[in-house]
Amino acid sequence: MEFARYKVIGKRQYRGHDPGDIFEARFDAALERAVYRGNIEILEVIRPGLPEGSYRLPKDWPPKANATPSEAPKGASLIGKEGS
């Protein structure tokens, strides 16, 4: 989902923003029409995301293929051999 930073350049308010105001909003058809009419202008497109290399997995991930799966300690489950 893309956002943009807009500036009101018309002589009237746009969606509660006075002329000269800068605001952020998601792209939609009404905003596109307002840009086309000259009521607002796009200052910057904002594409949310993670910058390359800014995320890391834990050092022990993925687990080694020969590692034994861990089990819950005895008594950790409400289900027992005797039933409930």
Interval 34-79: pLDDT, tens: 999 999 999 999 888 877 877 777 787 777 766 565 666 666 665 5
Beta strand pairing status for 3-8 and 22-26? antiparallel
pTM of the full structure: 0.57
Condensed to tens digits (0 to 9), the pLDDT of residues 1-40 reads: 688 999 999 889 999 999 999 999 998 899 999 999 999 9
Strand partners, 25: 4
In eight-state DSSP terms, residue 71 is -
Q: Give the span between the Cα atoms of 4 and 35, in whole angstroms.
A: 12
